[in-house]
Amino acid sequence: IVENHGRDTRQLLSILREVQHEFRQVSPEAQQKVAESLGVCITQVRAVVDFYSFLSTVPLGKFDIRISDSITDHMLGSREVAAGLCRKLGIQPGEPRQDGRVGLSFTSCTGLCDQGPAGLINGYAIPRLTEDRTDQIARLINDDIPLGEWPEEFFAIKENIRLADRLLGNPVRPGEALERTLALDRETMFGEIETSQLRGRGGAGFNTAWKWRFCYEGPETAAVCPPGQPAAGIERYVVCNADEGEPGTFKDRVLLQSCADQVFEGMTVCAYLVGAKQGFLYLRGEYLYLHDQLEAVLAARRRHGLLGKSILGREGFDFDIEIRLGAGAYICGEESALIESLEGNRGVPRNRPPYPVTHGYLGKPTVVNNVETFFAAAAIAVHGGEWFAEVGTEKSKGTKLLSICGDCARPGIYEYPFGVTIRQVLEDCGAADVLGVQIGGPSGTFLSDKECDRKLAYEDLATGGSFIVFDRTRDVIGIARNFTHFFAHESCGFCTPCRVGTALLKNLLDKIAEGHGATGDLAELSRLGRFVRSASHCGLGQTAANPILSTLERYPEIYQARLKTIDFEPGFDLDGALATARRLSGRDDANAHLSQS
Nearest-approach distance from CB 492 to ligand SF4, in angstroms: 3
User: Contact region for ligand SF4 (CB under 6 A) — 142-150, 263-271, 386-394, 493-501?
Assistant: 493-501
Q: 376 by DSSP, 3-state: which?
A: helix
CA-CA distances (angstroms) from residue 41 to 32, 38, 117? 9, 9, 41
User: Contact region for ligand SF4 (CB under 6 A) — 236-244, 298-306, 477-485, 537-545?
Assistant: 537-545
Q: Does 404 bind ligand SF4 (CB under 6 A)?
A: no
Nearest-approach distance from CB 541 to ligand SF4, in angstroms: 3
Q: Does 339 bind ligand SF4 (CB under 6 A)?
A: no
Identity of the residue, 492 or 545, whose beta carbon is nearer to ligand SF4 in the bound complex: 492
Find the residue with minimal CB distance to ligand SF4: 541
Q: Is the peptide bond before 353 cis (omega within 30 degrees of 0)?
A: yes
User: Contact region for ligand SF4 (CB under 6 A) — 124-132, 137-145, 531-539, 562-570?
Assistant: 531-539
Q: Is 152 exposed, middle or buried (0-12, 13-18, 19+ CB in 10 A)?
A: exposed
The DSSP secondary structure of 507-576, one letter per residue, reads HHHHHHHTT---HHHHHHHHHHHHHHHHH-SSHHHHHTTHHHHHHHHH-HHHHHHHSPP-----SS-HHH
CA-CA distances (angstroms) from residue 115 to 255, 403, 451? 16, 12, 27
Nearest-approach distance from CB 449 to ligand SF4, in angstroms: 32
In the list 104, 495, 512, 552, the residue contacting ligand SF4 (rule: CB under 6 A) is: 495
Nearest-approach distance from CB 487 to ligand SF4, in angstroms: 8
Q: Which of residues 472-491 bind ligand SF4 (CB under 6 A)?
A: 491
The answer to whether 269 and 177 are in contact (CB under 8 A) is: yes
Residue type, 267: M
Say how many C-beta atoms besides its own lie within 10 A of residue 387's C-beta. Answer: 17
Q: Does 505 bind ligand SF4 (CB under 6 A)?
A: no
Q: Does 499 bind ligand SF4 (CB under 6 A)?
A: yes
Identity of the residue, 119 or 333, whose beta carbon is nearer to ligand SF4 in the bound complex: 333
In the list 197, 443, 536, 551, the residue contacting ligand SF4 (rule: CB under 6 A) is: 536
Nearest-approach distance from CB 540 to ligand SF4, in angstroms: 4
Distance between alpha carbon 40 and the CA centroid of its chain, in Å?
A: 31
Can you state the angle between helices 371-383 and 251-258, rounded to 10 degrees? Answer: 50
Produce one character per residue of 322-334: b if its CB has 16 or more CB atoms within 10 Å, e if not: ebbbbbbbbbbbb
Q: Does 332 bind ligand SF4 (CB under 6 A)?
A: no
Identity of the residue, 285 or 541, whose beta carbon is nearer to ligand SF4 in the bound complex: 541
Q: Does 543 bind ligand SF4 (CB under 6 A)?
A: no
Identity of the residue, 177 or 495, whose beta carbon is nearer to ligand SF4 in the bound complex: 495
Comparing CA positions, the residue from 447, 479, 435, 402 lying closest to residue 550 is 447
Identity of the residue, 436 or 541, whose beta carbon is nearer to ligand SF4 in the bound complex: 541
In the list 48, 55, 81, 538, the residue contacting ligand SF4 (rule: CB under 6 A) is: 538
* Cα 176 to Cα 40: distance, rounded to the nearest angstrom: 45
Comparing CA positions, the residue from 551, 131, 205 lying closest to residue 393 is 205
Q: Does 154 bind ligand SF4 (CB under 6 A)?
A: no
Residue type, 17: R
Per-residue x/- mask for ligand SF4, residues 279 to 318, rule CB under 6 A?
A: ----------------------------------------
* Cβ-proximal residues to 127 (8 Å cutoff; 6+ apart), any chain: 112, 115, 116, 118, 156, 157, 158
Contacts with ligand SF4, residue ranges (CB under 6 A): 331, 349, 491-495, 498-499, 536-538, 540-541
